[in-house]
Structure 1
Amino acid sequence: MPMRQSQDAESAESAESGQPGAGEPPDGDAGHIREIGRKAGRGLGWSLLGTLATRAGSFLMGLVLARLLSPEDFGIYAVALAATQFVMVVKDIGIMAAVVQWRGKLEDVAPTATTLSMISAVSLYGAFYVGAPYFSRLAGSEEATPVVRILTAVILIEAITAVRSATLLRRFHVGKSAKAILAGFLVNAPVAIALAAGGAGPYSFAWGQVAGAVVTGVFMLAYARLPWRMGFDRDVAKRLLWFGIPSAAGIALEIVLLNVGYIIVGAIMGPDWLGFYLMAFNVSSWVPGLIGTAIRSVSIAGFSRLAERDEESLSLGVQKSVPILIATILPLAVAMAVLAHPLIHFLYGDKWGQAAGVLRFLAVLMVVRMLTSFALDILNGQGATRSTVWMNLGYGVALIPAVIVGTHLDGIRGAAVGQAAAALLVALPLALLAVQRTGVRLRPVLPQLVRPLAGAAVSFAVTVGLAALTEGSQFLQLVVGGAGGLLVYVLIVVPPHQMRTVGGHVMERLPAAHRQPAPAEATSKER
């Protein structure tokens, strides 16, 4: 019996890692690629469902907190959030990503990975605890110091669960991961709202997220079913760090560059204007937060499995996925840019109106963010982690002066213009170049982008026209303009035969009780 269990574990691990073995599909490379696609697709579905539920809840929580808190409270929270997003990426020096793409058995790597994650997180939190006053002063809000210290404590909880979270992603058990995150949010939201109603101000955000992280961590440990123990193997540690450190550096630079606008706007214009900027940025992050988070939960593992096969398999995977990603996000960006003013005023109230002009330009940034993040996942899946560092360093050289100049020239709107321009003109070309240099062929993607780009142009014109016709009612502008633009986009982008196929699948899935019986069936029943 122990021998059989060992064999089963090895077969399962072989199937997980993509190595030839008992878990390999019988029809060779094509079957293997389809199997990876099936697992990734199922994981993406679970991740989208879980992320949608969490984001919908976060949206509702944001509506409540926007009415309980002031722009200054949001500005203080923005400073703490920028610090937290940075430390969340570098907390484990890339160990979690290294575990996801590890070529071998989890049991060989887990103890060493856990030890490295704990050492890194504790050291980093100590540094940020001491440096919080300096960081807050640099961002123009010394009042944020205690909030930074509380919120960044989340990394201590995450360090305990990092390897277990990576295990779930590696096995494409995204449904369990999504359930754990949702459970944490169900604690986060009531804690944050109750504290805000009691006058806790920006502390409500911090304590809510800490409480949610504890609950999520408990669920992650239970779902992973991987014994929690620490250990150290020098060779394993070397392999983990060789992959992990550049990966963490690349993603950390991505987060720093994403949040650099907070620091610059806060330092130049103060916490009130920073609160408006944060509101617009949060709205522009809805799509990356929903679709981007879901994609990242499966993309690194999926690209790692494809890269293990051969370069051509990875190229085919990228060529199939990139057009789908672009076609999905373009209509959302168009609607967000055109309907920015009614969206902000209707959802958050007139006091947040200054955020609307910023949102128009951040919609452009949103599209580029999605594409560059996807490029990072491709590079990490291949193990080309050093390319991610150089890519983001080049972007940073252009971004920081663009945001500083833009803020001085036109306030928070100028900051958004600078951020969007640097992303479109520098970050995106660098990302395409980095991916191509690793051998992935992107040229076959170009013909597949004609329909989405044409659809986006027509959708833009239709949305502008419908918004003008319904001016005077923010609700009608959102409903009529948004729905009309989306309908036109779908009619242009989705081929008729695909619509018929989708319609056929929908009809097949209708409950049998709702279908009309065929004549032969009806005659048989009458008899």
Structure 2
Amino acid sequence: MGTETGTSTRTGSAGRGLRWGLAARGVSRLATFGMSLVLARLLAKEDFGLYAVALAANQFLFYVNDAGIVSAVVQWRGRLEDMVVTATTVVLTISVSVYALFWFTAPFFTTLAGSVSATPVVRLLTVIIVIDGFVNVRSAVMLRGFQQDKIAKANMMGIAVQVPLAITLAVLGAGVYSFAVGAVANSLVSGVLVFVWARMPFRLGFDRAVAARLLRFGVPLAGSLGLEALVLNADAIIIGNTLGITMLGYYMLAMNVSSWVPGVVGEALRHVTLPGFSRVADENPAVFSERVQQIVPMLVMLVTPVAVLVAVLAPQLVTLLYEPRWLPAAAALSFLMALMAVRMLTALAFDILTSLGATRRVVWMNLSWAVALLPALYLGARLDGIRGVAIGHVVAAFLAGLPAALWQLRRSGVVLAPVVAPVARLLLGGLAGGVTAWLVVTPLSGTPVFVQLCAAGAAGFAAYAVTGLSRERLRRLREVVTS
């Protein structure tokens, strides 16, 4: 009886966490989407390219600046009071040290990316990792307690500051600094709120045994995250170096559009799945596998129609939203949507392996992907510009990234065979939806772009729903969201 009650409580917390995560990410993506529409009309393509260089640096440092200790906090077995003070001290020390080191090495990074003029922007934007050093442990403790509502509110308040600030700066002629100052302000506001709402006294101290335990879990994870950051950001460096900052601006716009779904659905799910998987990791392996078998089809069901329809209708979407001058971005966007779908699955694999404590297997998963990716990106850039880079991404993802993730899950005892049939049906539905959308949009080439999008999008989604969805699948999704 107690087990059933505990399971019910966890399920309810996870459902609330998913709803809050979806709400927060939805508001965030809607706001940043509106901001990107405005900034695309106020700023030059080169400004987008410079920001892409700074963003690549920030994301790489963001992934490794806590040495994996935040995930170790989520996974911690034992009293939090025995660990929080040491974790805070270690994370803050590492964050400040990493930022100080990167301040001096930033010119080398921007030179490698083909744009040394981005150095001041890089130094400004990476201040975010210092802010995170103060709040990361508190955010992890809140995730453990499924307090996603507070984290969501903090993130929404940060966005409420970022968007008007960035647009105002762009109108005043701040150029690329519009992006950077807005992002730092967002991080500062949301960080302060998380710091306060966590209701944890700020104390520094050091326990060698606790630190060793945290680092044993976290360092392999940090290495894997560093590899993941390389996978995520190598394209910006290669494009900037080989194709120039203007083409990087086009590519960044395409990458931004392709990240809408991961930003809304993916992050919301990860806020729930990581602590949720951690709670059941010590139970029967069959129970853990059953939970994975529930999540995977749901993720594929949500991602597939968006990935397919945006890929097919990329030229119309970019033309409508960002004006015809940004149309070169559509060539990359069509392929980046396939990459987006794979990355969401590998991100889920990352969470599963982390919950099981298999951090070294995460390292091998990302290393396999990175080894295949770098030559694919470089060759793609040389042969076909930004579209070639996107194609190289997709080839490496399907030939290395996804197989490596499946292999490491299998080695960890996760049973995935039951998801093959439902996932296959969903993918078949996606194929039907894509073909239908293409057949509808092709003869409409002379009509207004909005009409093309509405007609082809509606027809494609209807074909997907009829072919790929079942009543049982929709019922399970409703249960997860409303529980």
TM bucket by the smaller chain?
over 0.9
Give yes or no for contact 1:33–1:306 (8 Å, CA) kept in 2.
no
> 1:362 and 2:336 equivalent?
yes
> 1:115 and 2:72 equivalent?
no
Q: Count residues with an aligned counterpart.
A: 481
Q: What TM-score comes out, normalization by structure 1 length?
A: 0.88
Q: Which residue of structure 2 aligns with residue 477 of structure 1?
A: 452
Pairwise CA distance, 1:36: 2.6
Picking from 488, 494, 519, the partner of 2:463 is 488
Q: Which residue of structure 2 aligns with residue 269 of structure 1?
A: 243
Give yes or no for contact 1:33–1:313 (8 Å, CA) kept in 2.
no
Q: Which amino acid aligns with 1:239?
A: R
**Correspondence list, 1:114-513, <5 A:** 114-471=88-445, 472-496=447-471
Pairwise CA distance, 1:246: 1.3
Give the whole-Å Cα distance in 2 for the aligned partners of 1:320 and 1:370: 15
Picking from 56, 62, 68, the partner of 2:30 is 56
Give the whole-Å Cα distance in 2 for the aligned partners of 1:211 and 1:293: 21
Q: Alpha carbons of 1:35 and 1:500: their partners in 2 closer, same or farther (altered >3 Å)?
A: closer
Q: Which amino acid aligns with 2:166?
A: A
Give yes or no for contact 2:432–2:464 (8 Å, CA) kept in 1.
yes
Pairwise CA distance, 1:499: 6.3
Give the whole-Å Cα distance in 1 for the aligned partners of 2:338 and 2:478: 32
Picking from 43, 61, 65, the partner of 1:69 is 43
Give yes or no for contact 2:307–2:341 (8 Å, CA) kept in 1.
yes
Q: Alpha carbons of 1:403 and 1:205: their partners in 2 closer, same or farther (altered >3 Å)?
A: same
| C-alpha distance after superposition, 1:256-275 (max 9, x if no partner) | 21111100011001101111
Q: Which amino acid aligns with 2:453?
A: L
| C-alpha distance after superposition, 1:82-129 (max 9, x if no partner) | 000111111111111111111112211110010001110011001110
Give the whole-Å Cα distance in 2 for the aligned partners of 1:64 and 1:99: 39
| C-alpha distance after superposition, 1:186-235 (max 9, x if no partner) | 11111111111111111111111111111111110121111111111111
Give yes or no for contact 1:115–1:231 (8 Å, CA) kept in 2.
yes
Picking from 64, 73, 91, the partner of 2:65 is 91
Give the whole-Å Cα distance in 2 for the aligned partners of 1:499 and 1:176: 29
Give yes or no for contact 2:429–2:469 (8 Å, CA) kept in 1.
no
Q: Which amino acid aligns with 2:319?
A: H
1:257 alignment partner, SS class: helix
| Uncovered stretches (5+) of structure 1, i.e. residues with no partner | 1-25, 505-527
2:281 alignment partner, SS class: helix
Q: Which amino acid aligns with 2:116?
A: E
**Correspondence list, 1:38-53, <5 A:** 38-53=12-27
Give yes or no for contact 2:231–2:370 (8 Å, CA) kept in 1.
yes
Q: Which amino acid aligns with 2:398?
A: L
Q: Alpha carbons of 1:491 and 1:129: their partners in 2 closer, same or farther (altered >3 Å)?
A: same
Give yes or no for contact 2:25–2:264 (8 Å, CA) kept in 1.
yes
Give the whole-Å Cα distance in 1 for the aligned partners of 2:333 and 2:86: 44
Q: Which residue of structure 2 aligns with residue 520 of structure 1?
A: none
Larger-gyration structure (1/2):
1
Pairwise CA distance, 1:277: 0.9
| C-alpha distance after superposition, 1:348-395 (max 9, x if no partner) | 011101101111111110110101111001011111111111111111
Q: Which amino acid aligns with 1:461?
A: V
| C-alpha distance after superposition, 1:225-252 (max 9, x if no partner) | 1111111111111111111111122122
State the superposition RMSD in angstroms.
Answer: 1.9
1:39 alignment partner, SS class: helix
Q: Alpha carbons of 1:70 and 1:503: their partners in 2 closer, same or farther (altered >3 Å)?
A: closer
Q: Which amino acid aligns with 1:491?
A: V
Q: Alpha carbons of 1:239 and 1:499: their partners in 2 closer, same or farther (altered >3 Å)?
A: closer
- Calculate percent identity across the aligned residue pairs: 47
Instruction: Select the structure with the greater relative contact order (CA < 8 A; seq sep ≥ 6).
Output: 2
| C-alpha distance after superposition, 1:440-479 (max 9, x if no partner) | 1111111222320221111111111221243232111211
Give yes or no for contact 2:298–2:477 (8 Å, CA) kept in 1.
no
Pairwise CA distance, 1:487: 2.0
Q: Which amino acid aligns with 2:461?
A: L
Q: Alpha carbons of 1:108 and 1:437: their partners in 2 closer, same or farther (altered >3 Å)?
A: same
Give yes or no for contact 2:227–2:366 (8 Å, CA) kept in 1.
yes
1:98 alignment partner, SS class: helix
| Uncovered stretches (5+) of structure 2, i.e. residues with no partner | none
Give the whole-Å Cα distance in 1 for the aligned partners of 2:16 and 2:388: 41
